[in-house]
Amino acid sequence: MAKVLMKGNEVIAEAAVHANCKYFFGYPITPQSELVAYMAKRLPEVGGLFLQAESEIAAINMVYGASSAGVRVMTSSSSPGVSLKQEGISYLVGSELPAVIVNVMRGGPGLGSIQPAQSDYFQATKGGGHGDYHIPVLAPASLQEIVDLMHDAFDIADRYRTPVILMADGMLGQMMEPVEFKEKQHVELPEKDWATTGTRGDGGPKIVNSLRLDPKELEEHNRHLQKKYEKIKEKEVRYEMYLAEDADYIVVAYGTVARIVKNAIHKARKEGIKVGLIRPISLWPYPQKPFDETREKVKAYLTVEMSAGQMVEDVRLAVNGKSPVHFYGRTGGMVPSHEEIYAKIMEMVGGES
Amino acid sequence: MELVFKKTTGLKDTPTHYCPGCTHGIIHRLVGEVLEEMDILEDTVGVASVGCSVLSYEYFNCDMTQAAHGRAPAVATGLKRVLPKDRFVFTYQGDGDLASIGMGEIVHAAARGENITVIFVNNAIYGMTGGQMAPTSIIGQQTATSPAGRDVALQGSPIRVSELLATLDGAAYIERVSTHDVPNIIKTKKAIRKAFETQKKGLGFSMVEILSTCPTNWGLDPIESLNWVKEKMVPVFPLGVYKQKEGVN
């Protein structure tokens, strides 16, 4: 298929359609509204359904209902809207229902702004709603990567019976880039024999439920969830390493920021400073391996985020006190420039050497 | 021996957790009987809400999905919209769930004309949570959170859900019934049947509001409770059909 020039939010929507998602329940919010509008037009064309809910809360619960019936279903929102969805996300986890939730992040807290941010990292990777749980979180850095990751997002959701979050920042949602939609190889996934579709032809009544009043039973359920997370940690870690092999210093960044970091790295390399990049693609499970591989030879790490410092905590855990970890962040919808990041790299180099 | 009566296959053979004198058991049985008589048990997915009826997924003999507090109409929307057209979806909700935290979801499900059936059990109090004031508590009613009695100046007036939803074009059939005596229980069953028939015909949103008892939290015995429904609740929540679109019969 030829490359097409598309806007990020529309790429997310089209990628979901290519991943065989035919059902979308959503609510408009900037900067992801084009995604909702695209689905409204596109899904009827493929025999699917788009429904605009009365609120983000209703949208996520419609997703819960549709997922109970065993279909591939998605919702999307931006930061304040995702906060509203947290109740439903916790219920999806509790009932082990697969779904894909897109967060095109904007600045916060509160109503914040409509400019790009990465300040929902904690919310996405550390639970977000009530209860002990994790959600696989995928963070693309380009529109083509959105296309490639969307299949994985739905497959992970179905394979492990879990919601999956696709984290983009407002920049990715609003930018335009050429993308190619390739056919994906068939992946074996478990039967959805748990779905509540009526009992005709399949024996006794099925129940989709997150209530377990017996503490022993609930603990058992939590153990089961934690076991599932261990499996996800083993199998679903994704990251990119860029110019990291000979690096003396490493910058850690994800999403849009990682692309800006690459420019800063190029500038530093021209000055003879060996800087590389670790770009986590799965924010949960967080990639430990690239840190284990680099920790011995790297003098220091610099984490760059569009937040006041959230992922940096996972970097510090990954490094476990064995190397210095610096941080540079912008908030409020401010996007760091490669000059700023270059200056921070030079500061780190100066400070360390 | 000739078998003259048997339990409905619409319910599982499981003892319920409901308090003595509570009419949830009667309403469960009526819903079960209707599903059995219409021969749609195997085509039905029920949505359990939060509150006393949270465990109804253990009792109805059909597929069941349990929803978050108030969100059952949204969950039912998701189910109904993606299931094959011949499937039935109903929610079973109490007044705290439907009229308080879930007011947004029920209003919009009705406004969209979702082709689902809502069984709305109104006992004018939060049952499972322990007897707090509900949006449907009547003026002067003493509850854990209105110990001096519901006062209009402080807590406003009870919400009449059937009347409210009947104003919406998407509502096809809305009737308020009661379980305080046998003739009314028979009427309740007819209304439930009509609601599911409305869904079968694809006419839109149907809801049966059923006045019900809560002896434990009202502090009354079962007989007094039935009288309280008749004498105190019915005047505030008049029985009858509030909406019946053409084609519903």
Specify if B41 maps to a domain. yes
pLDDT exceeds cutoff 80 at A202: no
Specify if B148 maps to a domain. no
What is the C-alpha to C-alpha distance for residues A180 and B188, in angstroms, rounded to an integer?
A: 58
Residue A102 sits in the same domain as residue A173: yes
pLDDT exceeds cutoff 90 at A203: no
What is the C-alpha to C-alpha distance for residues A268 and B112, in angstroms, rounded to an integer?
A: 58
Measured in residues, chain A has a length of 353
pLDDT exceeds cutoff 90 at A182: no
pLDDT at B105: 98
Residue A9 sits in the same domain as residue A126: yes
Write the CATH number for A166: 3.40.50.970
- The number of folded domains in chain A is 2
Percentage with pLDDT > 70 across chain B? 100
Residue A230 sits in the same domain as residue A244: no
What dihedral angle (degrees, nearest 10) is formed by the CA atoms of B109, B112, B118, B123?
A: 50
Residue A225 sits in the same domain as residue A135: yes
Residue A221 sits in the same domain as residue A330: no
CB A221 within 8 A of CB A95: no
Specify if A198 maps to a domain. no
Report the mean per-residue pLDDT for chain A. Answer: 96
Global pTM value: 0.97
Asked if the interface predicted TM-score (ipTM) of this complex is over 0.90, the answer is yes
pLDDT at A204: 85
pLDDT tens per residue, range B112-145 = 999 999 999 999 999 999 999 999 999 999 999 9
Q: Find the residue in A nearest to B55 (Cα).
A: A211
What is the C-alpha to C-alpha distance for residues A253 and A326, in angstroms, rounded to an integer?
A: 12
Specify if A137 maps to a domain. yes
For residue B117, report the phi and psi dihedrals to the nearest 5 degrees: -115, 130
Q: Do B83 and A198 touch (CB under 8 A)?
A: yes
**Mean pLDDT across A333-353:** 91
**Mean pLDDT across A265-271:** 97
Name the more confident of B136 and A2.
Answer: B136
pLDDT exceeds cutoff 90 at B89: yes
pLDDT exceeds cutoff 60 at A275: yes
The Cα-based distances of A230 to A129, A190, A216, A286, B147 in angstroms read: 20, 19, 21, 12, 50
pLDDT at A23: 98
Chain A environment of B78 (Cβ under 8 Å)? 25, 61-69, 73
B150 touches chain A (CB under 8 A): no
Specify if A180 maps to a domain. yes
Write the CATH number for B239: 3.40.50.970
CB A99 within 8 A of CB A75: yes
Residue A221 sits in the same domain as residue A151: yes
Q: Do B105 and A199 touch (CB under 8 A)?
A: no
CA A154 to chain centre: 12
Helices (H), chain A: 8-18, 33-45, 56-68, 79-94, 121-125, 143-160, 170-174, 215-235, 255-270, 289-294, 311-319, 338-352
**Mean pLDDT across B90-118:** 98
Mutate to test the interface with B, among A87, A89, A196 (most CBs of B within 10 A): A196
Specify if B15 maps to a domain. no
pLDDT at A352: 58
Q: How many CB pairs under 8 A join A and B?
A: 133
**Mean pLDDT across B225-240:** 98
* Domain boundaries, position B97: 24-131+171-244
pLDDT tens per residue, range A15-36 = 999 999 999 999 999 999 999 9
Q: Do A198 and B63 touch (CB under 8 A)?
A: yes
* Domain boundaries, position A336: 240-352
If we measure between CA atoms, which residue out of B119, B125, B238 comes closest to residue B188? B119
pLDDT tens per residue, range A68-127 = 999 999 999 999 999 999 999 999 999 999 999 999 999 999 999 999 999 999 999 999
Specify if B193 maps to a domain. yes
Q: How many CA atoms lie within 13 A of A343 on its CB side?
A: 7
- Give the one of A66, A208, A210 whose C-beta lies nearest to B82's C-beta: A66
pLDDT exceeds cutoff 60 at A353: no
Specify if B149 maps to a domain. no
pLDDT at B6: 92
CB A112 within 8 A of CB A333: yes
pLDDT exceeds cutoff 90 at A157: yes
Specify if B165 maps to a domain. no
Write the CATH number for A278: 3.40.50.920
B38 touches chain A (CB under 8 A): no
pLDDT exceeds cutoff 90 at B1: no
Q: Do A49 and B82 touch (CB under 8 A)?
A: yes
Residue A42 sits in the same domain as residue A182: yes
If we measure between CA atoms, which residue out of B70, B9, B4, B12 comes closest to residue B40? B9
Specify if A256 maps to a domain. yes
Q: How many CB atoms lie within 10 A of CB B80?
A: 25
What is the C-alpha to C-alpha distance for residues B124 and B231, in angstroms, rounded to an integer?
A: 13
- Give the one of A25, A61, A95 whose C-beta lies nearest to B71's C-beta: A61
B66 touches chain A (CB under 8 A): yes
Specify if A30 maps to a domain. yes
Structure tokens at A45: 């064309």
Q: Find the residue in A nearest to B74 (Cα).
A: A62
pLDDT tens per residue, range B40-74 = 999 999 999 999 999 999 999 999 999 999 999 99
What is the C-alpha to C-alpha distance for residues A69 and A180, in angstroms, rounded to an integer?
A: 31
pLDDT at A201: 74
Q: Do A209 and B65 touch (CB under 8 A)?
A: yes
Q: How many CA atoms lie within 13 A of B198 on its CB side?
A: 31
Q: Do A71 and B12 touch (CB under 8 A)?
A: no
Report the mean per-residue pLDDT for chain B. Answer: 97
CB B19 within 8 A of CB B222: no
DSSP B169-234: TTEEEEEEEE-SSHHHHHHHHHHHHHHHHHHHTT--EEEEEEE---HHHHT--HHHHHHHIIIIIH
- The number of folded domains in chain B is 1
Specify if B234 maps to a domain. yes
Chain A environment of B83 (Cβ under 8 Å)? 69, 197-198
What is the C-alpha to C-alpha distance for residues B105 and B70, in angstroms, rounded to an integer?
A: 7
Percentage with pLDDT > 90 across chain A? 95
Strand partners, A327: A303
Measured in residues, chain B has a length of 249
pLDDT tens per residue, range B176-206 = 999 999 999 999 999 999 999 999 999 999 9
What is the C-alpha to C-alpha distance for residues A77 and A79, in angstroms, rounded to an integer?
A: 7
